[in-house]
Amino acid sequence: MDTFWSESWKNIDPKRIAEYVKSMDFAPDDMIRMLRQHQAKSVCDAGCGCGIYCAKLLRNGFSVFGFDVSEDAVQIAKRNAPEAELKTADIRMTGYDSDRFDAVISRDVLDHMTKENAQLALRELCRIVKPGGIVIFTLDFPDEEYEKEPHEKNTDGDFVYSSGKWAGMVFHSYTYEEIEQILPQTAKCSIIREVDHFIVTLRKTEI
């Protein structure tokens, strides 16, 4: 998993990043609205990639932190979101103190891990968010390409890509029931189904 992402970010075409950043709509979206609704000020972007959403969070007035497993991604993210505090870390063991952030967001990261690792990651994200704070994450639905690229499906239902351009990548296509299976018990949850992805919001139980 980590090798796939490290290699992808190492070899990424800077032009592709520039186009992606240029295409970003910085106007508030559903995630930003949810963060505001919960009065979040400090927000951590878990698996921030090139930092595009960190830039959006900054533009919308949040105090932004973030990390990615790929050091190359973090270097790119620092250029796209210079005021954010960013580091290299694994989502299953981030190194932040407990109860650190008002909110943690994670876009299209947990669906690129095995279900078992996604469960560990969610436990960690709930650890670093404050009691009463929120964790918001998205899970993509598979398109034709996810089905077509050569992969094996393991007993947990994870797609493990064996060859081709996604060799080494993992994807899990979640049902409502499977999302419920990976949620920590210390959180209240709401699941919204959008056109092509789920948005899941967890509120960490107040002590």
Ligand X SMILES: C[S@@+](CC[C@H](N)C(=O)[O-])C[C@H]1O[C@@H](n2cnc3c(N)ncnc32)[C@H](O)[C@@H]1O
Q: Which residues lie near ligand X (CB under 6 A)? A: 1, 5, 47-49, 52-53, 68-70, 73, 90-91, 107-109, 112
Within 10 A of 154 (CB to CB), how many other CB atoms are there? 14
Nearer to ligand X by C-beta: 90 or 149?
90
Query: What are 136's strand-pairing partners?
Result: 105, 201
Cβ at position 115, least distance to ligand X in Å: 14
Q: Quote the CA–CA distance of 138 and 45 in Å, as a whole number.
A: 12
Nearer to ligand X (CB atom), residue 165 or residue 188? 165
Q: Which of 92, 100, 198 is nearest to 190 (CA)?
A: 198
Name the residue whose CB lies closest to ligand X.
49
Of 93 and 189, the one with the shorter C-beta distance to ligand X is 93
Residue placing its CB nearer to ligand X in the complex, 4 or 130 = 4
As measured in angstroms, the least distance from the Cβ of 65 to ligand X is 13
Name the minimum Å distance from CB 107 to ligand X.
4
The first and second tokens of residue 130, run together, are 């404050």
Tell me how far apart the alpha carbons of residues 29 and 43 are, in angstroms, rounded to a whole number. 15
Q: How far is the CB of 206 from ligand X (least distance, A)?
A: 27
Spatial contact of 77 and 97, defined as CB atoms under 8 Å apart: no
